A and B are shown apart, each in its own frame.
Chain A
Amino acid sequence: MNDKKGIIITGAVIGLFGGLLVKLGNPLNMGICVACFIRDIAGSIGLHRAGVVQYLRPEILGFVLGAFIIARLTGEFKVTGGSSPISRFVIAMFVMIGALVFLGCPLRMVLRLAGGDWNAILGIVGFVLGVLVGSQFLKKGFTLGRSYKINKTSGYILPLIMVLFLILRVIKPGFIIFSESGPGAAYAPWIIALIAGLVIGIFAQRSRICMAGGIRDLYLIRDNHLITGFISIFVFAFIINLIFGNFNPGFAGQPAAHTDWLWNLLGMFLTGFGSVLLGGCPLRQTILAGEGNTDSAVTFFGYLVGAAIAHNFGLAASGSGVSFAGKFAVIFGIVVVGLIGISSIKLSRSN
């Protein structure tokens, strides 16, 4: 599975489900979006009160649980932690804020492009630049330090929370919030969304697919392995969008998108930069969290809190553009992530 065929198949599975879930009810060009869906989860458990983006997305629960199940079966479930959890938490918050200014994680960026949303091109430019800058940090010796094997209990916590969320999604108690309109109210039947999440989780765990890793490896070690997955997602999502009539090329009027090119670029720059320092894009981190990597589980909670902050303080973009607060947060985020990067390089050199 970790050969070229495996990664192409994984891309195909993600691309096809991405298109199919839209057909079955998910928001347009948002068959799968790790950032948007974690944001919806944050809303549904009341961490933010943006009424249109609150839903317990079974896809995310499936990613973690699919990776957890397959890692258990293949003996790859390994509980580790201790690699600068608080730095990871903070970087993850800004990765999420950058994604919500662009309106999508790197995965949705590709799905948007496959749906004809040309604003995604600016996102890709920013993302690539962010990854390249992050790669320079790695070249200069950036590290968040090594992790260690830790108490096994810790590795079960996030998967168990996902099981709890799944139960809450199914029984829908009153304290869990579900949007009545907007993107949060657009969703595929939960069982299909869950199956899609589980299948993608399994394939992504086996193939190690990663959006940030694709560009990073191409640049740092001239390895095109992971980027093949990136391209495969695009090709298959594009084909299925054509089949279902969901390919609508243009800049203006795209679903859950804005045309503010500079901030599409800078938002994704922040996401790419932070993702390289974390060692993977939001999808990859979510999968790693299922495999027992508690640093990635902390990263997941960073995303969740970042999403809550983004909506509580009006940083997240909307169809009409990016607020001043959102722009400020992106610049602030680039500075903070850069400072964490620089100080980590200095520390690794002095050791």
Chain B
Amino acid sequence: MLEVDTRGRSCPEPVIMTKNAVSGLQKEDSIKVLIGEEVAKENVGRFARNAGCEVDIEEKGNEEYELIITKK
């Protein structure tokens, strides 16, 4: 699975990196997005849902998250 590391990137880079990765996805394909802060989690999640993807959030502790984004 393609992994996108957005940790430490300032707004809106995490969303753009995710957007670029999602645009190459086929149906049912997933990517893993590593996120380092609350705001980016919200923004990336909102973007992915608006783009018609399913978002599965896993908390990694230490305020880090892994988002599994699957194209529907």
**Out of B8, B11, B19, B42, which one reaches A146, CB within 8 Å?**
B8
Chain A interface mostly helix, strand, loop or mixed?
loop
Q: Does B72 contact A (CB under 8 A)?
A: no
Q: Which residue of the partner chain, among B10, B37, B47, B63, contacts A144 with CB atoms under 8 Å?
A: B10
Q: Is B46 an interface residue (CB 8 A)?
A: yes
Interface segment, one of A54-62, A173-181, A218-226: A218-226
Q: Does A66 contact B (CB under 8 A)?
A: no
The answer to whether B10 and A279 touch across the interface, beta carbons within 8 angstroms, is yes
**B67 touches A (CB below 8 Å):** no
Secondary structure of the B contact surface, majority rule:
helix
Segment from A76-84, A118-126, A316-324 that makes contact with B: A76-84
Chain B residues, CB < 8 A from A208: 39, 42
Q: Mark B27-49, 1 if CB is under 8 A from A, else 0.
A: 00000000001110010001100
Q: How far is the CA of A138 from the CA of B15 in the complex (A)?
A: 11
Contact indicator B38/A76 (Cβ below 8 Å): yes
Leading 9 A-B pairs by shortest Cβ distance? A146-B8, A279-B10, A147-B8, A279-B11, A2-B42, A146-B9, A221-B47, A76-B38, A143-B13
Residues on B lying within 8 angstroms of A by beta carbon are 7-13, 15-16, 19, 37-39, 42, 46-47, 50, 63
Q: Contact residues of A with B, CB < 8 Å? A: 2, 75-76, 78, 80, 83, 138-139, 143-144, 146-148, 208, 210, 213, 216-217, 220-223, 225, 278-280, 295
Give 28 pairs: A residue, B residue, CB < 8 Å, sorted on A.
A2-B42, A75-B63, A76-B38, A138-B16, A143-B9, A147-B8, A147-B9, A148-B8, A208-B42, A213-B11, A216-B12, A217-B12, A217-B15, A220-B12, A220-B15, A220-B19, A221-B12, A221-B15, A221-B16, A221-B47, A221-B50, A223-B46, A223-B47, A223-B50, A225-B46, A278-B10, A279-B10, A280-B11
